[in-house]
A = this chain, B = another copy of it.
Amino acid sequence: MKNLLDGIEEILLMGPGPSCVPEEVYKALSKKTLGHLDPYFLEIMEELKDMLRKMMNTKNNLTIPISGTGSAGMETSFVNLIEPGDRVLILLNGVFGMRMQDVATRLGAHVDVLEFPWGKSVIPEVVEKKVKENSYKIVAVVHAETSTGVRNPVDEIGDILGDSETIYLVDSVTGLGGIEVRMDDWNIDVLYSGTQKCLSCPPGLAPLSFSDRAMAKLNARKTKVPNWYLDLTMIANYWGQNRVYHHTAPVNMLYGLYQALFLILEEGPENVFRRHLDAHKMLVAGLEEIGLKMLVEEKWRLPMLNAVCTPDNKDELSIRRRLRSEHKIEIGGGLGPLSGKIWRIGLMGHTARQENVSRLLRALKSVLS
């Protein structure tokens, strides 16, 4: 029998995630498996929590990786906090805001949506008006919209919500590790991310943090969380001082995340953000030189997710296929209403380097000529 794993080639991952993985993280993934209650593994878990707190700029006790991919972070956040009938406001300007709407609706929330044009930012003044007119248990927004490349002003929205009773929930799946996240300073109560974007670890885990206020809402529930696997009251008992077995933690993936965070903190988050921005500026300049246009206005652009309008006179899918087959580069297509209309070029984590930008620009010139 032929083993397909022998034929895996190295692809330059410049799509919307997963991103390129540093050699040290690959090595970490293949360290010897320890038991999920092994005393040495518990030490690794403690440091992992500390490193996540540093990345998120939070003091929250419950700051842990959830045993599932980024979307499991979204599911965990909503399922623990929503009780049927709770009024929830979703600020929506892309696919991942739509996903929030779907998740919250399935859980029995009364969901209001404030929609903004895709490719443009959420406008804080409009949010302010909406939350003054209504009382919401939760207001949720995506920090870095992976479907459009827009950065939403999560800091300004946090100022508006301030010390109100409302839980402020932020999806930073694509943000964390690529741009600054200041959870406590921005009044964020719930934040989740994914490992396969700017943290440059393979997909499989969702870093998540709950503030004391979010924990208080969880602990005041009248009914059990309708999801055993993602019930944070039990998961917190495993990651906390009691170390009560809940499910078997994904040990080797956690090694990978440990190493990925270690590398970012060693390089220094400020330097990592600068590296993202430099690569982004070089990419935009190069794309404009080829005659391609960015979807998003400069002031709202994310450095790590670049939405580029596809050329009118070309079949965009065949260009992506040629990049993959001839140049071993992956870029992403558009999602939903932007399908066929944009490419999504990722400069996430380990991928965000000038040599990768040069390689992509050369390849693009070649396949577009």
Contact call A250/B8, Cβ cutoff below 8 A: no
Question: Which listed segment binds B: A102-110, A161-169, A181-189, A280-288?
Answer: A102-110
A252 to B9, CA, bound (A): 14
Question: Which listed segment binds B: A32-40, A121-129, A134-142, A293-301?
Answer: A32-40
Given A106-B224, A228-B75: A202 and B33 interface contact (C-beta under 8 Å): yes
Chain A residues within 8 Å of chain B by Cβ, number = 78
Given A69-B248, A99-B228: A13 and B33 interface contact (C-beta under 8 Å): yes
Contact call A35/B10, Cβ cutoff below 8 A: no
A238 to B73, CA, bound (A): 19
Contact call B34/A11, Cβ cutoff below 8 A: yes
Question: Which listed segment binds B: A15-23, A55-63, A304-312, A356-364?
Answer: A15-23
Majority secondary structure, A binding face: loop
Judge whether A116 is part of the interface by a CB distance below 8 angstroms.
no
Contacts of A47 in B (CB 8 A): 4
Contacts of A256 in B (CB 8 A): 252
A31 to B11, CA, bound (A): 11
Contact call B5/A255, Cβ cutoff below 8 A: yes
Contacts of A203 in B (CB 8 A): 36, 248-252
Judge whether A291 is part of the interface by a CB distance below 8 angstroms.
no
Contact call A5/B204, Cβ cutoff below 8 A: no
A108 to B229, CA, bound (A): 16
Contacts of A38 in B (CB 8 A): 11, 324, 330
From A75, which residue of chain B is reached at the shortest CB distance?
A: B229
3 closest Cβ pairs, A-B complex: A204-B250, A71-B247, A26-B30
Which residues of A pack against B, CB within 8 Å? 1, 3-5, 7-11, 13, 15, 17-18, 20-21, 26-36, 38-40, 43-44, 47, 67-72, 74-75, 79, 99, 102-103, 106-108, 194, 196, 202-204, 224-230, 245-253, 255-256, 258-259, 262, 265-266, 324, 330, 335
| Other 16 A-B pairs with CB < 8 A, given A67-B72, A71-B246 | A3-B262, A4-B40, A4-B43, A5-B28, A5-B259, A11-B38, A26-B32, A27-B30, A69-B249, A71-B247, A74-B228, A106-B224, A203-B249, A203-B251, A203-B252, A245-B335
